[in-house]
Each structure stands twice: as structure tokens, then as C-alpha cells.
Amino acid sequence: MLQRPRRNRKSAVIRDMIQENHLSAANLIFPLFIVEGHQQKTEVSSMPGIFRYSIDNLLREVESCLNIGLKAFDLFPNIEESLKDKYASVSHQKGNLYLRAIEQVKKNFPEACIVTDVAMDPYSSDGHDGIVENGEILNDETLEILGKMALAHAEAGADIIAPSDMMDGRIGYIRELLDTHGFKQVSLMSYTAKYASAFYGPFRDALNSAPKAGDKKTYQMNPANSREALIEAQLDMEEGADFLMVKPGLPYLDIIKLLHDNFDLPIAAYNVSGEYAMLKAAIRNGWLDEERSIMETLLSFRRAGATSILTYHAKEVLEKGWLKA
């Protein structure tokens, strides 16, 4: 045999020499959950090792991450039920929990890159990403609220705003609003292909943001569809998105590759709560090797074409020395 592929696998030095894809701390974004209060740090029961932080402890967590080379964070608020209403009014209200968190992180750690989530569901009494009328999610009426949220985030110091709502036209609406108000340098990371997935359960537990009635299938994508993601991506690109995101990650590696192969914008992948929870459960039961399974998972996103990976594993892989900053 003239060709023996195993010759290129015979030693660690050669394997490293020809490795096609690499993972670094620069590829990782760490999602963090925020709650009201002081000295609060409570573990999410369905996500071992992941906590909800009051702002004082959030600052300590961000600092500890920066010290090990993790520099990008996506913030998510757990809002008290009494503050929620049909129009998510508190979402853009001055001095709310989320805006205070953004301001405090940027004030104390200007070098940190802060990604913010734009969607109504954490603040909505209906638990949906848009205004609900007679069981229907209103698209165009929702855009005004999303725009107010995005503008408030920019004013608070957000570096990247990530609309996760899946309303049609929201990228163009938000881009124009930000530009008009002088925030041309604030980036948009669009949840381009966000599927109506079964893997969001632990996240909704963490935020207490599940729909009170119905589901999200009229605005999130059908898991059976792939070409539909091309339509969403084309629209987002034309409307001014700076990043295209695929969510969830592991069941949709083909979608990550599809967007990577067809668009020149950076592709982000969200390694979601359900993926994290099932991997941690298998590890705790001794069914999987912790380091190998987590690192293989993260590398699969890079291989598929993602340059940014939102993952709850971000801190531990650096803290445990599995990945060098």
C-alpha cells in the first residue's frame, strides 16, 4: 500500500502537527444567570456547577473568569414574577436588574466582552418571546419592545446584542434604531436558526421563563428543516447581522456547517442547557470520561465551522487546565 493514513497518526507530535481544527479560550462565551439580592449564589438544580448570581457575586465570577483567560460573557436575567407583564415593560425600564448588571460589569471590567439577550420571555407574564393576543404571537408589534430593549442594553454598555426572539425583521429594526441613536459600533449576534427544541428545559428552569400556555413553534424553527435556515441567514445578513447563531448546537452541527459554507459572517453555536445537563448526568454516573467527552463536544463545533461557542463548560475547561488560554 502506497497510502497508509495511519502513518500520520503514529505519534502525538505528528497528530498535533496535522490537526485541522483548534479550540482556544477566544472561541468561548460563558452564559451567566443573574438574580436580585445580595450575596446570592444558588445552583441550578438541573445544571450541576452552574449558578444564579446576584450582581455582587456576578462581578466576582467575571473577575475569576478573566483571570484564567475567559473574556466573553452572555448575561441572562431571572426576573421576579411580580415584575412581569404582557408587554415585558420592565425589560427596558431604567435601573432594572439586567441593565444594572451590564453597567456594573463594564464599569469594573471594561476589558470584558458583554453579550446581551434580547427577547421578551424572561420579562413576559405569558412566557413568550413576543406579545400574545388571542393565542397568537404578534410579530410587528413586538419589534418596538425588542428595539427598546436593545437600545437600553447599548446605553448600559453592551458590546454585542443578541436577539433570540425569532421575530421576522427584528435585526433590521434593531440595527436601524441603534445606528440612529449613535450606537453604530454595537454588534448584533442574531439567533438566526433557533429551533423549537426539547433541549431548552434546564435553561427555562434557571430563568423561570417557560411559556404559560402553548409553545414556540410558530416562531422557532422546525427541527426537520435545514434549508429554511438559509432563508433566515440571508435575511439576517441583509438586515445587518454581524454574527449568525445556531441553537441548539449538538443536534444541529449540520446547520452550523450549512451556514458556514454559504455565508462569510462568523458563525456562533449555542451548546445549550439540555446538552450540558445530559453530558453532566452521564459523567456523574461514570458512563463517560469527563475531560474527553466535554473537549470532544466543544471541538465538534469548531469542526462544523463555529468560531464562537456559547457553552456552560467554558470556565471549567480553562479552570481544570484542559484548554489553555
- Residues annotated as part of the active site: 194, 247
Residue from 122, 114, 116 nearest 91 by CA: 122
HSE-CB for 207 with a 13 A CA cutoff: 26
Cell 458583554 belongs to residue:
114
Q: How far is CA 294 from CA 106, 288, 313, 320, 323, in A?
A: 30, 9, 8, 12, 11
Tell me the Cα Rg of the chain: 20
Neighbours of 5 (CB within 10 A): 7
Residue from 274, 249, 323, 209 nearest 50 by CA: 274
| 232-235 long-range Cβ contacts below 8 angstroms, 24+ apart | 232/192, 232/193, 233/192, 233/193, 233/259, 233/262, 233/263, 234/263, 235/168, 235/171
Report the C-alpha gap between 159 and 191 in whole angstroms: 16
Handedness of CA 270, 273, 279, 284 (dihedral sign): positive
Cell 449613535 belongs to residue:
182
Report the C-alpha gap between 131 and 217 in whole angstroms: 15
What are 310's strand-pairing partners?
Answer: 29, 270
Neighbours of 16 (CB within 10 A): 9
SS3 assignment, position 115: strand
Report the C-alpha gap between 82 and 88 in whole angstroms: 12
